[in-house]
Structure 1
């Protein structure tokens, strides 16, 4: 991942919007972000991690993070981080923003995080979790490998074994090797399969092939019996079918005869129904309609009479109510006529109330005018006093400025002296370093002398001048000696081989006895037995010689390794010495050149210059105090002048308001006619308001009663008129309905004279409610059914002819057929049962063979799974793989750490997966990594972190080498800081992009491309690039 740009607004100390253009910083390779403690340097890294992951080390969600992250002078927080990553350099953007509630300062809205990918010249929204996938790191591991916050730099070294293994597991996806539980699950499943298979075999049991053959023979017998029974069944079923048809004919003939007898018994009822229908049809035709009209008119007459009685009653009540309303109206009208006089009194009372209020205001204004005139006089005195003081201060300021020295020149002289001291100090440091290196060189030479003294072979190889060529001669001598010893060992091994053969033959000769066969040739005769003596002594001497030479070779090889180490150290120390001699020459040249830069006539010492600076600072403070006092007085004069104008304007307004009030009082008094003003001058305004409200309420209530009674009288009069008209109309309708009823009665009497029925008989007939069409249909259906029965009987009688049906014979035949069917069915069941049994036995026999084969396979698999389970048990395989990764990481880190420490130190992994250091300055012995100095610890941590970052970049297929370090370095001494500077410069040469955050000013001088963070009290943190 390579950053492109970062925009911050309203985050922590960043009040205004600030943008960092990382393209110019990363182009330099090594860049820095510098500023005082608390200026907002670390907030830049925190903004990046929060935009990417929504997490910060400083605050979590329980700390009311959304409120505390936002600057207290800002109403909005905004972060925008753009970066590129991956093989194709895809560009992504992460944003985070939030707003403060304008109505509640403490209420900050939820921080909204969004992610985008740049495609086709546009930002396309993507899911937030995609950011972590493209970066390839979790939040915790991102802080350990790419952007490392304060206090986290040395974390990888300081982590415990378990935590370091867990970190490697996450970074390199070693969880894929955590296979114990998967294997255990597979084992469990395999065991379950074995148990299931055993259960299946037990269920199947043992199967006898001879029993299967017996059952096949039984099937053939059953098949033959079934065929015989089927032939007999066919003949009997044919006879039974003929008898069944004859039985049906006899049954049908009997049914028809029974139905015919039933119809004959109902003939009289049908005739009675026909007579009733004739009577009912006559009455319906001649009397139904006229009887219905008479009943309808009777109902209408009763209804009209009831309505007429009700309206008469309502009319009487309404007339009585109208009389009462008219009486009330006359009383209200008398009060209604007085409302104009009362309204005029209300208006005059309101004016009297205003007069009382205005006279009270006039009294208040007079008091305010007296106070205001007094304050205005005091204001004029203050202005005059300040002006006198201003004149005195201006004269003092002029005198002090003439005494002020030229600070620009003083600064230049002081800077020359400071640089001159720095150059002399640098020369002293180089000379000190030369002495240290020469001392180290003497120690290496002493190591060489000690080695030569302790080795007899090297006593003749001590030299007065410790040149690398002399040590190389010694190494060549020792190498030649090793080769000579190897040749000697080869000769001794040949001799040992010969002596071993002789020893074996000696054993055979001892076992030869007269008359017994030889163990080698089998001969019974042994004329010349080999005489071998002292073989074991020779073997022992040869072996001792070989061991002695091999031990000497081992000692020589150790000496060669030590000599190589000494040679490398001498070479390295000589190179360092040459470099420092060059630095010393350069330092002398810089001092001489610096002397030529002193161009001032004064010859003051550094102490005199410092005293002049102190005097200038004192004068500067006095001048600033006087200038601030003058500025303060000017503001005070301006303020009092504005007060003077404000007082005058207020007094003018009060005088004008007093005059206006008096004019209004006179005008209001002239408008009052009914009431006397003097009668109310001592009255309270609230009492007048109450009297006005009472009179207004009286007028309002009188008008409401007048209007309400007027409306009620009109409504009652309308109701009376409507009821009178309605009663007249209903009387006319009632007379007409009674005349029509009389006419219908006459018509009914005329028709009864021509009928054979009286009126009661007719009413009873009509009450029957007979369905004429239905009853006629029933009569016709009866006659038709009788005819159909007679027509059906004729063909059946002809078909039966003279045949006779005997039920007993028929039932006997059926029993025989049923018996045959049951026999056949039983045979078929036996056949199916036996057939199924044979098929099942054959299937089970096949299953047993398959299951036995599967069981063998599962047993073999169980043994393999057991081996794998032991391999993966207790995360053993993961720990093994993490150890391999850690060792590779250590090897990669050593390539840099060994160079950074100038071949003095290297990192190693212990058996417990902890770090230790091999110290080549102390015979290559190991020691705890915690014994390293501050600078060495930085080098070790940086080497490991860079190696870790390299591996991570390979995993996520990134071609970018970016590393950001937020480490103050304030606790390091000067030597350790120099180590840090040299280390960072080496990284720059490796084409790496490294960012450093620090408050140490010396680092700023070493890193040209940088950002300066300044915390302004008014504007918050501001970012100032070095190129602007």
Structure 2
């Protein structure tokens, strides 16, 4: 990367726009940035660094602090840099965050930071790569140049005051600087990763030790041997206790079965008695049912000829009606004739009859008293009917409740038997659940075994590759060793040849002192001499090849160790699996699925058992409530019967007080109505008799006319009635009825006929059912007797107590054996895991100690890598320092271990050629320190550039005081810089040393003023 043009505006001490056009200084110039203190020489480098990375060279100030106080508020602070990279040119512009004048109105507003990056490809504005984003610009610059800002400060811009800081830093500080420059954080990550891994394993070991101790304490034993001894002792006792418990359980089941059978037997005897009673009652009703069946049959036959009868009755009724009308008409006619003669007589009789009204009223009072008695009798009869219905309902409810209690008793027996069967089945649930837990654990362990096997297979490929790598690196190492030895021999031969060329006859050899030179060494045939640098390079290649070989061996050893650990884990895991090790994962899953299905079925049965137990409790509650209600119903029936008797007695007493002819309500009412009518008639008759004669003449005329009409109708209807009667007589003779009376008595209405049929059918169905039940029970209970439940219950209680005692003993032993077995399994697993962890710690603990510098020379992995890089830097730096110090000084790395626990490996010493001894760099004078620091910075710049992916950096800016050097040292330093310039670099020096200004024709002069600094380009 080579800067071409730097534009600065309102930045640092520069109030207006200033331009540094490096192209005016020529190709690869060595120039001076000159100016008084505070003029802004360093600000030029700050602007250069800010344009690229948004940061200044010293990083003490950020972009927001770089605005010039002399700048006008309307002028925006910004920096632009045009630079070349290979064959391409780029332009980057940056604006820091600042306050600027508002475009409209008064006051200021905040201008956010922004950056634009363009490739100047020949077009008018160039190709825009970044439009505004500061972050995107930073990423693009880093990708283009290949350096971060820290590397840039060490490689292209050597800031003021930073030289001696790097030179005098101790191992720790120099490690921090170098790790940023060479991006060796990956090695620090390796150190931390190994440290974390070792710490994690160490904690896991402690955790497992505590877990093992806790496992033993939980089992109340002090060691694994004590645990094994107790298991050996308890297992025979458990087997014996299980056998005793099994026998007691069998005896209990037999006793329980005997009790259940006895209860069922007694219930069947009770059922037989109940059904025989019901059958007797039903058979007593047989006669009445036969009569009802006969009535039903006759009713059906009468129904078949009823339409003929209704036709005959209808025609006869019409004839009778007309006949009656005719008779009445004749009578009316005769009456009308007689009315004329009787009117006077009736009037006389009406007067006489009126005298009898008082007697009729006395008779009316007597009839009204009987009417009140009749009302009371009717009320009593209604009450008696209601009481009769209530008594019948009470009896029905009582019978229903008895039936319900019988059904509950039967259901209770059935449910109790189901409960016994459920309990037997559910006993297998706990073993199945335990087996399911074991299968879950073994399935996880089996999957772990499969994972370990896959890992072992993977390490096999890694091992083969590692062995190939070791073989390859071993061959390369031997080749490098042979080449280094060959090169060193060639160098010695070359040195001998050079010395031989200086030999003269009769002059002593400076090596052996002999004056005779029979076979002086000669140069090689090609005439090329091997240099010391080539020898050192060959040895470095040998060392690198040896390191590569050792690294390959270490990697292979790690793979082998990892493979051994995995194999050990596989053996432990397979032993833990036991008999399940031979099964595949799919087989284990199928086995588990089968067991899970059984557990689900048994769990469902368990829920059904709970439901059954609830139902049994409900039945017991219902039975208790039913018995209470039965007692209430018995009392209610007795009370209803007593009320019925009282109602009948009252009715009989009332009937005796009422004459028999008035006991029918209609007859008494008619009598009362008739006597009232007579009384009214006698009174009214006297009045009517006076008007009767006048009306009779009209009545007589009407009666004569009507008599003639009815006579004609009567003859016609007589014929119709005779025909209908003949049809009916024929039908009646053909039927099963002897006469009309028998036919009429056989007829029933539809409701009565339907209810009678239902009653007969129900009776026959119930009778047949009862006969079947009684016969079945009689056959079932033949040659059987009722069981003595008290004796059976006593035997069951004894067997249950005995079983509980034996079961408790067995459960205590089983729980202890299971607990100890579980502890044993956990202990074996924990010990195996602990052994694996110890083996892992043997590997990672050692690697951690080595990588973090806890052993040997206290050099960590990162510091070791950095020491190799520092050696490369010191080779370059010593070459330049040797020139600047006129062959006196060289920079070397201190190899002695630091005192105490202080980190070491990166300390610097200077080797003094005058004394032949190394000493601390802190003992150098100011000028010597500057030369050493400059050499170190230039060497660091070369090495960082070489490690930065081959990026060629074509510029170097040095901001350091050359004033501490004498003229001779200054000339030597300038010579080194000229040599560096000759390699193709632009070199810029910031200084106000007068001698430099006189020696260097190319300058960038910076002058300061009250309104800000200005820049002037001075070219040859």
The TM-score normalised by the length of structure 2 is 0.37
Larger radius of gyration, structure 1 or 2?
2
**Length-normalised TM-score, structure 1:** 0.37
